[in-house]
Chains A and B, each alone.
Chain A
Amino acid sequence: MSHNKSLRVATAAVALALAGTTGFAMAAQVPAGVKLAAKQELIRNTGSEPESLDPVLAESVPANTITMDLFEGLTATDSFGKVMPGVAESWKQTSPTTWVFKLRKNAKWSDGSTVTASDFVYGWQRFVEPKTASPYASTYGIFILNGKEITEGKKPASSLGVKAVDKYTLEVQTPYPVPFMPSLVANTQLAPLPKATIDKFGKDWTKPGKMVSNGAFALKDWQVNSKVVVEKNAQYWDVKNVQLGKITYLPIEDHNADVKLYESGENDWVLELPSGTYDKYKAQYPKEIRNAPFLGLRYYSLNNKDPLLKDVRVRKALSMVIDRDILAKKVTADGQAPAYSAIVAGTAGADVTSYDWAKWPMAKRVEEAKKLLAEAGVKPGSKLKFAYNTSDYHKKMAIFAASEWKSKLGLNTELESLEFKVLLKKRHDADYQIARNGWVADYNDATTFLALVQCDNDQNDNKNCNAKAEALIKQGSDSTDQAKRKQLFTQAVKMIMDDYPMIPLLQYTAPRLVKSYVGGYGKNPMDRYRGKDLYIIQH
């Protein structure tokens, strides 16, 4: 089956699923004619040491990459980012705020016991329980009835809106309609958990020899800062379609060291190329370079409470003069696309908006921006302060932005390079004027990006608030009509972006090297690749 065909099948699956009917099992597909290698072993760099292999404590991308292979939720996403059945073989939205998931009877834990609905109830309650202190508890927990109150300690975990109707039926209540529920439950924070194992071993339950998991792979070895090794889980319900026998995850942080290991044959998967090397490696390894946009936005936060930036004309002028095309093609030069909205291409639940001036010639944009600054009383020579976290990549972008503001508007920018944690603190506390920022979607729905610009949202570093847009978002959230919800969200985003709360710059891509013999690598908007969907081609 070609990639295109598998994409069509996957799309059909998700269409069926989202329509509230049943999904169907869809395994890793090896195209006809492809000969598999005898040795099905993959080595991939995840970029850093996982902070935990407990799915509810896993926060970073590296940790989630591994827990996605060890655990499987009600659904899963394939290499194209499509929602596929996981432990649940079908699901249905029975009322605006109720979802019913039918679990497959052959889903097993790695110790051979059956995965039941009560394993999900236990896992989800543990996830939102304040004592567990999961960093994601409030991010995903708010979509389950009483989840918010439980994380705040106002209600007991037992009041969570999830119920085992019988051994293989799980009913989920939400506080308001959550149309993206099938995509949300693919996250392994919402996977089932083995209560007996956790009770027996406590914190040590995630160690090799002790962990019991229900994913396509089981934990074999974990050497801190060296490697995590998993092997095919013989008990997995779809094991016949799992090709890889073993995956080794490396925690290499240094991009150059990552490439060196790749070139010497000790790594099949470079997570991220060193800054400024994309063109070089693209020419050197044309068959191995992989690059696709995913749901992530690079942007600059503008402190809307700052004395200078509280004037929307100033914020607009700063945004207008940054030439995203040059930034994408010449400065970052790694295939990223210009962005003019808080929503990036490929996001479900809202359309990407843009600005009229995005199509204007730069001279006209500069002229308009100068006029706006003059109206706001900002004179050439005024000072801006820009904070970014120490990194060649961010520095390069910051210098470009500063030069745009200097050459086009005559504004002087003081660049402040900060350690990452210091920048995060300053950003969250609004102790900055302009700051580098970025966001990668947690699930494929517009709400994950709306959080960046919504009033009083924890993720809103700009501290902007548009009450009218907020009302539209509320209206959209309460709506059961998907088309209306999308239209309201799009309208709200447009309204917010016209306030210029931030400067959207680029949509993330994932430029990396993956050996040409690694099959099953698709264009995934979530940049998530499960070992189940990958295979090694004969080479």
Chain B
Amino acid sequence: MWSYTFRRVLATIPTLLAVITVCYLLLHLTPGGPFDGERKVSAAVLANLQAKYHLDLPLWQQYLYYIKSLLQGDLGASFRYADWSVNDLVGKALPVSAAIGGGAIVISLFIGVALGIVAALRQNSIIDYLVMLLGNIGGAFPSFVLGPVLVMVFAIGLEWLPAGGWDDFSLRYMVLPIALLVFINISTIGRVMRGSMIEVLSSNFIRTARAKGLPMRTIVLRHALKPALMPVVSVIGPLAISSITAAVVTETVFGLPGLGKLIVNGAANRDYTLVLGLVVLVTVITVVLNLLVDLAYALLDPKIRY
């Protein structure tokens, strides 16, 4: 397994390079540059700005310059946020996104799996319908609708929690954004778990277990859960990636200083280094989470060997 992990990590290098190159070219091909503003800067000031950020060099030289600093662990200076380096900006936003997205994914996994199991065991009963209805609401309503509803009820109506903002990982500020992401995620996890559990429960080895007179609780937890989790594990990777790196709407609704907001603003401001830095980060997170998912398969299914 270790050699498999090592090979997978090595394989990320060409992936990263390809992603950076494509993104680099796309950014430079997009009309409008980092210094195009409502107030057009004079040719002289533009030349000064371009020299400051090496944009006066030919594109290939700029690219090599970027790769060189990247190899030294330096994501460069932000074009927009002059007082910060990209390392600073990413370093500040990542923990926020990891806390919100990571917290949400762990909670949604537990709730989604539990709901899926309950719905599968009481298939086509009122409980099944209620659970699936709850899940479908999370899936059907977009977060920009659900988010403000949560704010209206819990922040403005009941005044239990703040309407938004961030205060050094204070739990009060994390509850609503996490709740919103959980609500959205459990619809996917719950539905996948329900379908998978129904399939597993109708398989031969479960019938055998029942025939042996094992209690239902033991059958589900000891025999059915592991194989039923396989499809859930498959969806958890993409869900975690989007919850951590692409929770733009959640961050906007709650005014969170996370990665999603940085990516959107970076692209809008043509902050080349910031966007590239975030692309590197998202690629690494994607590779790592996909690797973890693959390794989790081996834990769940003894037949899988790496």
Contacts and interface: CB of A to CB of B under 8 A. Distances in A.
A208 to B, nearest CB: 11
Contact of A226 (B152, B156, B166): B166
Interface in B130-154: 148, 151-152
Report whether over half of chain B's contact residues are helix, strand or loop; otherwise say mixed. loop
Interface in A411-427: 419-422, 424-426
Contacts, number: 154
B37 A135 contact: yes
A224 B93 contact: yes
Contacts of A137: 45, 48
Contact of A421 (B93, B155, B252, B270): B270
A458 B42 contact: yes
Given A207-B83, A421-B270, A424-B37, A257 B253 contact: yes
B238 interface: no
A226 B162 CA distance: 14
Interface residues of B, number: 52
Nearest to A431: B31
B61 to A, nearest CB: 20
A260 B268 contact: no
A438 B38 contact: yes
B82 interface: yes
A323 interface: no
Contacts of B166: 223, 226-227
A459 B40 contact: yes
A419 B253 CA distance: 21
A206 B82 CA distance: 10
Contact of B255 (A139, A257, A419, A426): A257
B191 interface: no
B125 to A, nearest CB: 39
Interface in B83-139: 83-84, 88-89, 92-93
A151 interface: yes
Interface stretch (B225-233, B257-265, B278-286): B257-265
Nearest to A426: B31
A253 interface: yes
Contacts of B37: 59, 135, 424
A191 B151 CA distance: 41
Interface stretch (A1-9, A48-56, A233-241, A359-367): A48-56
A424 B39 CA distance: 9
Contacts of A250: 165, 255
Contact of B155 (A52, A264, A424): A264
A203 B85 CA distance: 10
Contacts of B45: 130, 133-135, 137-138, 151
Contacts of B51: 130, 133
Contacts of B262: 225
Interface of A: 48-49, 51-54, 57, 59, 130-135, 137-139, 151-153, 203-204, 206-207, 223-227, 250-254, 256-257, 260-261, 263-264, 266, 419-422, 424-426, 428, 438-439, 442, 458-459
